Amino acid sequence: MDKEDLIKIIASRDEDTVSLVEEVANKYGCSTESVYWNIRSIFGDKLKNLKWKFREPSKEDFLRSLLFSKDSKELRQKYIYISFEQWKGIYDRVLSVSTFSKAKELAMLASLPTKFIPVTDNNMAMWSACRLGDGSYDKKRKSWKIEHCHWQRGWLEKKVEMFSKSFPQVSTKITYNEKRNTYSWYSGKIGEGKYHEAGICDKYLIIENLNDFGLWFLFLDDGCYSHTNQQVVNYAVENMEIATRLCELLNKKGHPFRVANKNTVVMTGIENIIKFFKNQLEPFNNLVPECMKYKTTYVKI
């Protein structure tokens, strides 16, 4: 009896076991007892168990197997009883995609966590991200000034909303500069104690204050996502010290960024980028204003 031929017959039939055995017996001109014995000898299991192993996996099972397979060859080894003919087109039939890489993307997008739990450290994280990003801290007035171009007004409004919740004494007034076509916000006196210290120390020292919320905040300010030629995520930074510290922090969180130059840290690789979007950006989607969603929307290619 041919192993591949048996796999095709067993996998493609929904009849009861007796009918299936009779078909195999007629095909090979042998007794039904011989069929049972040969199948168990070839596959090391009873026919009633093998019938389920030969069938295509469910979507949930397939996604789980994809998540822990580094390539199509390793995935194939998880389904050794499925015939090669049956394997053709399995990505399309089960997941409606055409390749292993696209199927792997779906598995990661479906499986990674997106839950965000607010913590009190967010105040310092926001303060530090603002200084590292588009905010300007005045050490004499102990105040913030933030300015954005007109099409990022929604992001400035969201910042003012978050600052006013964390520091109720701040001004919420936003002004428009017609000549520059920009919107700006001045907080009034706000910095005291540890916050003031974080506002005047060397910037690279406040990288350690960035939790997940802070990294998200900084990405909306100085992050960039490109998918023109290849998928790339980067943060713009001021100097090499900040670049090095930021890379160290991101790497500790499982995001393999590298220092591209003194003004940029970069990460490539579809799997890495999906993890970054799912774990670092997606938990804060409810805070992203419409004008900034282009930065946090992942594009499948």
Flag whether pLDDT at 146 surpasses 80: yes
Report pLDDT for 175: 97
Q: Encode pLDDT of 1-20 as tens digits.
A: 666 677 666 665 555 567 77
What is the average pLDDT across 50-67?
76
Q: What is the pTM of this model?
A: 0.69
What region, left, alpha or beta, does residue 44 occupy, with left being phi > 0 and alpha being psi -120 to 50 degrees? left
**Structure confidence at residue 36 (pLDDT):** 78
Domain residue spans of the chain: 1-55, 56-111, 122-296
Q: Residue 217: is its pLDDT beyond 80?
A: yes
What tens digit of pLDDT does each residue of 196-215 get? Answer: 999 999 999 999 999 999 99
Looking at CATH, the fold of the domain delimited by 122-296 is given as: Endonuclease I-creI (3.10.28)
pLDDT in tens, 48-57: 666 556 667 8
> Helix, strand, coil % (nearest 5) of the chain?
55, 15, 30
